């Protein structure tokens, strides 16, 4: 990964590319690289859909190696949804393949002339950029079928659906999985719209003839990777719960906690939770011939994804993740797994952020466009997006826009991005992260856990709400660092309980690059990433006033615990004090 591919999509005479050294970005990967680049090269007040914005696609530091779990890719830009800096993270095959091709980043710059659409082909022999009119407005599954007919199914694709072509602010970039299906998404923040504005429909990557990246110290790397895998396999979460039930294992838990946002965040428990739980989905999939245990990228040993089939055993979609099941389930009052799977398929096919879609449909239900619980109505709303109707464009622009248009006050958004599947009134700590994250309401930004970085576990006085501030701060620092490695965030649980497993990760980084990184070094990386992001957002016009939850979270009690969000503004403003 010693080069950067830059493509000016608006160059006179057609897209122009150049390959350059890493330069000032040496030693960075994933989110560290995307955020550094956006912060350095994009004018913070630029129009996100304009020529000044850039779309940066970067695998992680350990992607393309034999390190387990190293298949996450980062997509960065100025977000058309939030107006701030964005890093959207995804699984699928792209990180591994792009890293093996030797690219630390692909950077799409400029603006394609209106109506122009291109495909980018990258293999060991080089890069080609060709018109892609034949793919215009194709949904992702249809697109991948066409590509398979020409290039086979051993390539890897990053694509936008009609939502991205229409530049809708909740559009995603789809990434193909090991079965060559467009099921994994860089979902949040409208990154699909930026790719659409750049005029790129699909990036087709082929690593045929290429080997895995080799570490500087193969022996130490092998040893560290072995300990790494042992740690992941032996852990109760990564070794049992996730492989058996997927992320949807959280439905029963979060529902029980009273923090499962139901019917547009009206209550914190859904009476239909067990009908859409991970346990129930796994049972349905097993009985119908689907698969509840499946990895989204080569090298995954946790295998938390799955495949969902209909009553006749025919593929419907990937196993819906917890966020999709919540967004299209409880948040919409829907308790039918088949409906949720269909909505998941439609999100993937049109290229949409599943969280913002569920939130937008919840807004539409609150506004009376359709009723809560209307399964067909929810499906038809998403189909409106595929048709490109005005109603579809409103929904496809996300919950914040939908709320404004429909006159709904209770929009569960921060910095314009819809909240994920945890209500901050029941779970105050996640509210701190929602409010202060540079990304907008985000449940993964303050996610990773490394006890020897965080120095917590008995050090925080439970009577002091400052405990939540410090925890959120440290989690955001550690997550920013881990997002730079390309590792899947679900490694976090094994790291929490097993310090030797975290050490194995640090050892892998050191063995691969010939470094002497320690826990402090990892924390420093995380702080650097967050500082760059905060600085960008400040210059883009964000102030402390944006690090808040919507007003009603402070006033409307959430049943069953009947709590409001109680963390003070002063406390929120102290999260990034370093």
Partner 1 sequence: MIKKIIIKNIPEAADIIFYELQGGFYIEALSGTTIISFLTESCDIPESYIIDKIKTIFHNGNPVDDIKTVKLYEDSVLAISGAMPGIVGAMMRIGSPYAPMRENITDKGSREGVIGKTIPVKLKLFNVILSDYGKRFTENGVIFERETIHRLIRKCESAVGKKFLINIDNTSFESSNVEQLTDEKYLISSAV
Please identify, using beta-carbon distances, which residue of 323 and 356 lies nearer to partner 1: 323
- 385/492 with CB nearer partner 1: 492
Residues that bind partner 1 (CB under 8 A): 235-238, 240-242, 244-245, 247, 249-250, 252-254, 256-259, 269, 274, 277-280, 283, 304, 322, 422, 426-430, 432-433, 443-444, 446-447, 449, 451, 454, 456-458, 460-462, 464-465, 467-468, 471-472, 475, 490, 492-493, 496, 560-561, 563, 566
In angstroms, the CA 114 to CA 298 distance is 37
CA–CA gap between residue 198 and residue 10 (Å, rounded): 8
Cβ 450 to partner 1, closest distance in Å?
11
Q: How far apart are CA 15 and CA 112, in angstroms?
A: 8
Min CB(446)–partner 1 separation in Å: 6
Beta carbon of residue 47, minimum distance to partner 1 (angstroms, whole number):
34
Q: Which helix (H) or strand (E) holds 523?
A: helix 519-539
CB of 283 to partner 1, least distance (A): 6
Q: What Å distances lie between residue 272 and 259, 275, 328, CA to CA?
A: 14, 5, 12
Q: What is the dihedral of CA 170, 174, 177, 182, to 10 degrees?
A: 100
Least separation in angstroms between residue 46's CB and partner 1 is 32
Taking the C-alpha atoms of residue 128 and residue 123, their distance in angstroms, rounded to an integer, is: 9
- Give the residue with the Cβ less far from partner 1, 392 or 429: 429
Cβ atoms within 10 Å of 418's Cβ, excluding its own:
29
CB 398, CB 169: distance < 8 Å = yes
CB of 451 to partner 1, least distance (A): 7
* Least distance CB 456 / partner 1 (angstroms): 5
Closest CA to 168 of 85, 83, 80, 90: 80
> For residue 74, what is the enclosing H or E element?
strand 73-78
Q: Nearer Cβ to partner 1, position 242 or 408? A: 242
The least CB distance from residue 268 to partner 1, in Å, is 8
- Among 363, 56, 556, CA closest to 355: 363
Long-range (24+ apart) CB contacts under 8 A made by 14-19 are: 14/129, 15/112, 15/118, 15/129, 15/199, 17/127, 17/129, 19/127
Nearer to partner 1, 451 or 574 (CB): 451
- In DSSP notation, 92-105 reads SSHHHHHHHTTEEE
- CA dist., res. 343 & res. 360, Å (int): 13
- Asked if 277 and 252 count as a contact pair (C-beta separation under 8 A), the reply is yes
CB of 257 to partner 1, least distance (A): 6
> Closer CB to partner 1, residue 129 or residue 558?
558
Residue 490 or 502: the one with the smaller Cβ distance to partner 1 is 490
* Closer Cβ to partner 1, 17 or 250, answer by number: 250
Considering the complex, what minimum distance in angstroms separates the CB of residue 308 from partner 1?
Answer: 17
Nearer to partner 1, 166 or 439 (CB): 439
Residues 6+ apart with CB under 8 A from 287: none
Minimum Å gap between C-beta 367 and partner 1 is: 29
Give the span between the Cα atoms of 486 and 60, in whole angstroms. Answer: 3
Residue for token pair 């500087």: 216
Nearer to partner 1, 75 or 454 (CB): 454
Strand order through the sheet with 315-318? 291-294, 305-309, 315-318
Nearer to partner 1, 349 or 485 (CB): 485
Q: How far is CA 494 from its chain centroid?
A: 21
Two tokens, residue 331: 């948040």
* Least distance (Å) between residue 340 CB and partner 1: 17
Which CB, 175 or 250, lies closer to partner 1? 250
């Amino acid at each position: 990964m010693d080069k950067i591919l830059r493509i000016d999509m608006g160059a006179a005479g057609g897209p122009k590319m150049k390959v350059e050294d890493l330069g000032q970005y040496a030693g960075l990967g994933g989110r560290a690289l995307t955020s550094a680049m956006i912060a350095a090269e994009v004018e913070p007040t630029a129009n996100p859909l304009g020529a000044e914005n850039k779309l940066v696609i970067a695998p992680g530091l350990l992607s393309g190696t034999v390190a387990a779990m190293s298949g996450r890719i980062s997509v960065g830009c100025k977000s058309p949804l939030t107006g701030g800096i964005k890093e959207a993270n995804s699984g699928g095959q792209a990180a591994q393949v792009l890293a093996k091709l030797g690219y630390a980043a692909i950077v799409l710059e400029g603006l394609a002339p209106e109506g122009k659409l291109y495909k980018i082909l990258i293999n060991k022999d080089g890069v080609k950029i060709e018109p892609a009119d034949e793919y215009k407005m194709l949904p992702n599954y249809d697109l991948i079928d066409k590509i398979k007919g020409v290039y086979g199914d051993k390539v890897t694709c990053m694509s936008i659906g009609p939502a991205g072509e229409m530049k809708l602010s909740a559009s995603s970039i789809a990434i193909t999985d090991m079965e060559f299906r467009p099921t994994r998404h860089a979902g949040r923040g409208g990154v699909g719209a930026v790719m659409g504005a750049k005029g790129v429909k699909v990036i087709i990557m082929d690593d045929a003839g290429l080997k895995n990246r080799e570490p500087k110290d193969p022996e130490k790397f092998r040893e560290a990777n072995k300990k790494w895998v042992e740690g992941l396999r032996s852990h109760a979460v990564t070794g049992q719960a996730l492989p058996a039930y997927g992320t949807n294992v959280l439905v029963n838990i979060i529902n029980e906690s009273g923090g499962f946002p139901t019917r547009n965040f009206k209550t914190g428990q859904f009476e239909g939770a067990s009908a859409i739980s991970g346990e129930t989905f796994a049972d349905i999939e097993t009985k119908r011939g689907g698969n509840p245990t499946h990895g989204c990228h080569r090298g995954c040993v946790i295998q938390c994804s799955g495949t969902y089939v209909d009553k006749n055993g025919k593929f419907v979609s990937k196993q819906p993740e917890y966020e999709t099941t919540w967004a299209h389930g409880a948040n919409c009052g829907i308790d039918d797994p088949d409906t949720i799977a269909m909505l998941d398929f439609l999100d993937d096919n049109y290229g949409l952020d599943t969280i913002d879609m569920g939130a937008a449909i919840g807004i539409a239900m609150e506004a009376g466009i359709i009723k809560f619980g209307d399964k067909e109505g929810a499906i038809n709303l998403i189909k409106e997006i595929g048709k490109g109707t005005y109603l579809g464009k409103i929904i496809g622009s996300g919950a914040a826009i939908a709320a404004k248009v429909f006159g709904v006050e209770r929009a569960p958004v921060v910095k314009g991005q819809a909240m994920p599947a945890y209500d901050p009134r029941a779970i105050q700590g996640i509210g701190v992260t929602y409010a202060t994250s540079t990304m907008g309401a985000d449940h993964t930004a303050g996610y990773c856990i490394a006890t020897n970085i965080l120095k917590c576990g008995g050090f925080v006085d439970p009577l002091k709400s400052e405990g939540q501030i410090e925890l959120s701060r440290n989690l955001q620092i550690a997550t920013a660092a881990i997002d730079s490695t390309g590792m899947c965030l679900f490694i976090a649980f094994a790291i929490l309980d097993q310090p030797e497993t975290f050490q194995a990760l640090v050892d892998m980084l050191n063995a691969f690059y010939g470094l002497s990184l320690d826990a402090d070094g990892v924390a420093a990386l995380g702080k650097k990433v967050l500082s760059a992001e905060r600085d960008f957002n400040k210059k883009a016009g964000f102030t402390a006033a944006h690090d808040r939850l919507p007003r009603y979270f402070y006033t409307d009690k959430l049943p069953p615990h009947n709590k409001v969000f109680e963390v003070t503004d002063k406390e929120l403003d102290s999260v990034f004090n370093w």
